[in-house]
Structure 1
Amino acid sequence: MGFSSQMQTEQQLQVLRSDAIQERRSANYKPTIWKYDFLQSLRSQYDGEEYKLRAEKLTEHVKAMFVEAQEELAKLELIDIITKLGLGDLFAHETQRALQAVLSSNKKIKNGEEDLYITALRFKLLRMHGYDVSQDVFKGAFSITKCTEIKGLLELYEASYLAFEGENMLDEAKTFSREALMNIYSTLDTNTAEEVAHALELSTHWRVQWFDIKWRIAVYENNNNLDKSLLELAKLNFNSVQATLQKDLREISRWWRNLGIMEHLNFTRDRLAESFFCAVGLVYEPRYSCFRKCLTKITTMILIIDDVYDVYGSLQELEQFTQAVDRWDSSKIQQLPECMKICFQALHDITNEIAYDIQEVNGWNVQAVVHLRKAWTGFCKALFVEAKWYNEGYTPSLEEYLSNALVSSGGIVISVHSMLSLGTDEMIDLLGKNEDLVYNISIITRLCNDLGTSTVEKERGDAPSSILCYMREMNVSEKEAEEHIKKMISKTWMKINRQCLRTQPPDLLLPSSFVKVTVNVGRMVHLYQFGDGFGVQDRQTRNHILCVLIDPFHLGCL
């Protein structure tokens, strides 16, 4: 049921009188550019039977390629290409079997005597799939005299992003390969130069893989040595997945319109398409439609509640709102402006709605809704701390800021919903035992967000960001603070890399599906390096949405 029917004329007058007394801040967010009728018009022809049959035939052909790939390098290159083309999910079994064969080959390679390209490619792929391989394979493997081949340098650079804390050799490899690639960049052909620029802009390991598919296909189309059936299957698969995503987007946009909440909230961001896009970044596979829509609902509410605390509410109002969420009690919000009542009611209803969906998919456990409420309570309390800092003109130390940001980033809200949606209520016990992964992803979420939005927020007079906290604490320039934050992000990724290993103790081993979604949160927020895609829509995020959700590959006759 929408909120429109709940609003009476007298209540609207009360809101106007309240806002006249309480001067409200404004972030001047623009209306959404993704209109309801346009989203409802999205249809794809590429989920037809003829395309499915062609994809099945090509899939069998690629499986045969795994059998034919006898040499180790052939296996590794096939896995690498399949992963980059977004086909890894289709060939998960074949990939794992091939990697196991690589591991069990027990080749004795003397340090520095193997080609750098295969050494780096093997290391990268094994670490990507959770295998604990030593950095020692690179002893003596890279130097100015040995690294003259562009493929080896590029793979060394990509491999260095899979480093663990304390792996100094991989730190050296990253610095060395980056400088070497930059030095030879001007001598490269157009296609290779584009690959190098893409990697230097943001490493593959830090990118949302599904958002990179079209770019990868364009690159591989210029490779005459590549089996073209791989590209055809990649295009068919992309279009097939996009058809499912468009169906999900139509459904979630109907839900959003029926909710009707944005008709009464003029201070917040109406960003349904962007929220859905983020959900796709976390989990794109067609079988996760229900979970994807759940993530979209969560993200829309994170934005709205964040704007209530950052932009709209007075400190006294926010205290009452926080108490209401803490006790899940609507009687605590009766003195608040109507739009804050609407926000609370929406949060209440959506949380119950999601808990019901979890019941339908995974079987009911009454504790599910309790965990969801607890996560939202923690989120609101953390936002209230930041609101107090703003009102008091207080700038915390970076450590104090990040301690609170662990929760205010929204990472825990997403993680709890993910754990429950991907499994059962009992899986929350695992999260309680192994919180390091969620902690580190939450830190990256906050730091990347700050790098992308701190300038605008500082001009608007918002609460201090990590950059400002460090500037004031250490008495350094903004540029120095930004460099420090970037180094923190890199170090945090090193911790995450180790936490994704298959060799975690059994009592701390998180489900692989949960790990994948959680790590993708960290990758998703790196899009902030191109600007704030939620606050401002006419930048890179718009182009990403067009690429991933709207425009298919146009295929010839099959």
Structure 2
Amino acid sequence: MATMSSICAPMISVLPRRPMIVAAFQQYCSRRTFRRTLQVRSCSSATSHVAPLRRLANYHPNIWTDEHVQSLTSTSKVQREEERERINVLKEQTRNLIREKQQVAEQLQLIDHLQQLGVAYHFKDEIADVLSRLHASLDHVRWELKDDLHATALLFRLLRAKGFSVSQDLFETFRDEKGNFEARCENPIRGLLSLYEASYYEKEGESVLKEAMDFATEQLKALMEEGSVPEAGGLREQVAHALQIPLNWRLERVHHRWFIEACSGDNTIDPLLLEFAKHDFNLVQDMYKSELKELSKWWSELGLSEKLPFFRDRLFENYLWAVGFTYEPDNWRCRLNETKAICFITLIDDIYDVYGTLDELQIFTDVVNRWDLTAMDKLPEYMRLCFFALFNFVHDEGYRVMKEKGLDIVPDLKRTWGDLWTADFEEAKWFHHDQTPKLEEYLENAWVSISGPTILVNAYCMGKDLTGEALKSFPSYYQITRFSSRLFRLIDDMGTSTDELERGDVAKCIQCYMHEKGVSEEVARSEIRELIKKHWRALNASLSWDSPFQEYFKNIVVNVPRTAYFFYQDGDGYGKPDGETKSQIISIVFEPIQI
């Protein structure tokens, strides 16, 4: 983690102003002029001992209350016990299914269904054994599947997702002498769908997978437009769902519920698996309710949302982020910690982006980087409350880990929180000094200010299997943390930049690129979309670990940008949480699946 601090304060080159070529950028510049006026007024007020003029973002109010949370009802103890007993029976029957499946195509299909139904975590060892055996005999398996595009694409995707080395050449057998793809399998539409999903695990320079992606996308869209994809079995809905966002970019738990309900009529899925998935989903949902009650009690007693009403109060949404990072029951400690951490991240972000003056932020950043409680009297009250609450949170978690594992995580936690505040302060200086950095300069700071490293360090330190050796090895994950966090930033900016600029926020990646290249917003957004794909390719290339603890962390690394897609694919689903975000919270936390 020592290397992270070096990227938090890049040298910023102030670009010469160019004639603006689009109206959107002219409006952006007008808002900057207005912001500069506010800054001058704020400074003059400060010198005359008048309270500084502060900006307010007018965020949407919190739509959930502690009373609402505490009133959540779970199934009775008797019902839970009955459900656990039924799950244990279904679990053993499913384990027998895994043993009985001898054909490679059947094994792959079963594993895929277990993963998409959200119950694969029960069978990690069995699935790892099957995939290891298939990988060890890959040449033979490849020959066995040479006329089955669906199974071959499944094999490729499942192996790549688990970090196994598998070449794009696996698909060469499905190209004719001219290099064009052929959808050879019993069900060509399923074959195309599997090829499409597999192609999103591409790495940089893999031209075959790029061609596969283009081919499968074009063919599936054409079949949908022609009405050639049958409704039966939910296939048409599955294709439409995939074309919206590929599986590799989806928030897992939201997809699990969708898949359970959308594929109930799919005759390729064993009814035993569907029943198992429904019972398991409901039982885990009860666990989520209990976790939320505990978190809501903590948040209510902390009192920050009442004392500091200027920031986004989003406990439920923060919990959904945490579920997006890791949904498995065993990782409950990580979910609780990450929810709390994101509450602080949001508060800090709103202090730096909206509420704090530059002079206050300078002192604030210095105090937190020194973690100096004796310097708190230099801060205004709202900053003292924030810092003291975070100080207690970090040391409480550090004490717990020390007590349980004998490991000192506090230095790592302090370092990553300090890096976050330093990066936020850099952006505040750009704002107050009216600077627009080049895109790469912006990203070198923004992958930290988006909080990706803070989230990932917290998740790593909360791992139930954390060891001293694992803690020492964390700096070696610098690159994968960087790829995940830059993706997080790019996805966030694409969804939120319009609303944030309306509030008078600092330039985001889109505006940085517009300013640097002198192009329209449409061109800039197109470039950022390509940059997102590039970073996904880099992230895919980094997932080649095999230890149990690394597997836990690898999943969270990938799930950070997946969860960001959920919140920001159609705008700011975090700042404005009363739409799809609210619906999915109800779906994941409140409403059980009918069995």
Whether TM-score is above 0.5 comes out as: yes
> Is it true that 1:137 corresponds to 2:170 in the alignment?
yes
Cα RMSD of the aligned pairs, angstroms, is 2.1
Q: Which moved more, 1:61-70 or 1:329-338?
A: 329-338
Aligned-partner residue type, residue 323 of structure 1: D
Aligned-partner residue type, residue 164 of structure 1: K
Q: 1:146 to 1:252 in 2, by over 3 A?
A: same
Structure 2 partner of 1:531: 571
> Is it true that 1:511 corresponds to 2:550 in the alignment?
yes
Q: Residue 90 of structure 1: SS of its match in structure 2?
A: helix
Matches of 2:181 and 2:213 in 1, distance apart? 17
Q: Which moved more, 1:79-88 or 1:414-423?
A: 414-423
Structure 1 gaps, min length 5: 1-16
Q: Which moved more, 1:135-144 or 1:529-538?
A: 135-144
Aligned-partner residue type, residue 68 of structure 2: F
CA contact (8 A) 2:134 2:141 kept: no
Matches of 1:502 and 1:412 in 2, distance apart? 19
CA contact (8 A) 2:69 2:293 kept: yes
TM-superposed CA distance for 1:197, in Å, is 1.4
**Counterpart pick for 1:116 among 131, 143, 149:** 149
TM-superposed CA distance for 1:142, in Å, is 4.5
Structure 2 partner of 1:54: 86
Q: 1:450 to 1:71 in 2, by over 3 A?
A: same
CA contact (8 A) 2:104 2:141 kept: no
CA contact (8 A) 2:204 2:534 kept: yes
> Is it true that 1:99 corresponds to 2:131 in the alignment?
yes
**Counterpart pick for 2:291 among 238, 241, 248:** 248
Q: Residue 533 of structure 1: SS of its match in structure 2?
A: coil
Q: In the TM superposition, what are the counterparts of 1:243-392 in structure 2 within 5 Å?
A: 243-365=286-408, 368-392=409-433
Q: 1:228 to 1:265 in 2, by over 3 A?
A: same
Matches of 1:314 and 1:391 in 2, distance apart? 9
**Counterpart pick for 2:182 among 121, 146, 153:** 146
Matches of 1:408 and 1:118 in 2, distance apart? 42
Matches of 2:268 and 2:530 in 1, distance apart? 39
Matches of 1:362 and 1:510 in 2, distance apart? 15
Q: In the TM superposition, what are the counterparts of 1:67-106 in structure 2 within 5 Å?
A: 67-105=99-137, 106=139
Matches of 1:211 and 1:442 in 2, distance apart? 21
Q: Residue 578 of structure 2: SS of its match in structure 1?
A: coil
Q: 1:320 to 1:236 in 2, by over 3 A?
A: same
**Counterpart pick for 1:501 among 539, 544, 563:** 544
Structure 1 partner of 2:95: 63
Q: In the TM superposition, what are the counterparts of 1:446-525 in structure 2 within 5 Å?
A: 446-502=489-545, 511-525=550-564
TM-superposed CA distance for 1:336, in Å, is 3.2
> Is it true that 1:157 corresponds to 2:187 in the alignment?
no
TM-superposed CA distance for 1:354, in Å, is 1.7
Aligned-partner residue type, residue 158 of structure 2: L
TM-superposed CA distance for 1:428, in Å, is 3.5
Matches of 1:552 and 1:389 in 2, distance apart? 47
Aligned-partner residue type, residue 236 of structure 1: H
Aligned-partner residue type, residue 255 of structure 1: W
Matches of 1:26 and 1:277 in 2, distance apart? 26
**Counterpart pick for 2:219 among 180, 184, 192:** 180
Q: Residue 180 of structure 1: SS of its match in structure 2?
A: helix
CA contact (8 A) 1:398 1:466 kept: yes
TM-superposed CA distance for 1:460, in Å, is 1.5
Q: Which moved more, 1:29-38 or 1:307-316?
A: 29-38
**Counterpart pick for 2:443 among 402, 418, 421:** 402
Structure 2 partner of 1:11: none
Matches of 1:335 and 1:95 in 2, distance apart? 56
TM-superposed CA distance for 1:255, in Å, is 0.5
**Counterpart pick for 1:33 among 52, 63, 76:** 63
TM-superposed CA distance for 1:552, in Å, is 0.8
Q: 1:341 to 1:433 in 2, by over 3 A?
A: same
Q: 1:28 to 1:145 in 2, by over 3 A?
A: closer
TM-superposed CA distance for 1:113, in Å, is 4.7
Structure 1 partner of 2:73: 43
Q: Once the two structures are superposed, what CA deviation does each residue of 1:269-313 show, in whole Å capped at 9, x if it has no partner?
A: 111111111111111222222221111110000000000000000
Structure 1 partner of 2:35: none
CA contact (8 A) 2:69 2:292 kept: yes
> Is it true that 1:542 corresponds to 2:582 in the alignment?
yes
Matches of 2:131 and 2:403 in 1, distance apart? 37
CA contact (8 A) 2:145 2:152 kept: no
CA contact (8 A) 1:431 1:510 kept: no
Structure 2 partner of 1:218: 261
Q: Once the two structures are superposed, what CA deviation does each residue of 1:22-46 show, in whole Å capped at 9, x if it has no partner?
A: 1111110132111111111123217
**Counterpart pick for 2:476 among 404, 413, 433:** 433
Matches of 2:218 and 2:534 in 1, distance apart? 20
Q: Residue 220 of structure 2: SS of its match in structure 1?
A: helix
**Counterpart pick for 1:128 among 151, 154, 161:** 161
Aligned-partner residue type, residue 493 of structure 1: W
Count of aligned positions: 533
CA contact (8 A) 1:309 1:384 kept: yes
Q: Which moved more, 1:39-48 or 1:104-113?
A: 104-113
Q: Residue 435 of structure 1: SS of its match in structure 2?
A: helix
Matches of 2:223 and 2:303 in 1, distance apart? 56
TM-superposed CA distance for 1:225, in Å, is 4.1
Matches of 1:535 and 1:252 in 2, distance apart? 20
Q: Which moved more, 1:334-343 or 1:293-302?
A: 334-343
Aligned-partner residue type, residue 25 of structure 1: R
Identity fraction in percent: 38
Q: 1:309 to 1:360 in 2, by over 3 A?
A: same
CA contact (8 A) 1:111 1:141 kept: no
TM-superposed CA distance for 1:214, in Å, is 1.5
Matches of 1:119 and 1:386 in 2, distance apart? 47
Matches of 1:235 and 1:69 in 2, distance apart? 23
> Which protein, 1 or 2, shows the higher relative CO under an 8 Å CA cutoff with sep ≥ 6?
2
CA contact (8 A) 2:545 2:551 kept: no
TM-superposed CA distance for 1:20, in Å, is 6.1
Aligned-partner residue type, residue 395 of structure 1: T
CA contact (8 A) 1:321 1:332 kept: no
Matches of 2:181 and 2:323 in 1, distance apart? 44
TM-superposed CA distance for 1:360, in Å, is 3.6
TM-superposed CA distance for 1:111, in Å, is 12
Q: 1:483 to 1:252 in 2, by over 3 A?
A: same
Matches of 1:510 and 1:86 in 2, distance apart? 20
Q: TM-score, normalised on structure 1?
A: 0.91
TM-superposed CA distance for 1:338, in Å, is 1.5
Matches of 2:117 and 2:146 in 1, distance apart? 31
Q: 1:109 to 1:444 in 2, by over 3 A?
A: closer
**Counterpart pick for 1:169 among 208, 211, 225:** 208
Structure 2 gaps, min length 5: 1-44
Q: Which moved more, 1:130-139 or 1:532-541?
A: 532-541
Aligned-partner residue type, residue 369 of structure 1: V
Aligned-partner residue type, residue 107 of structure 1: H
TM-superposed CA distance for 1:224, in Å, is 2.9
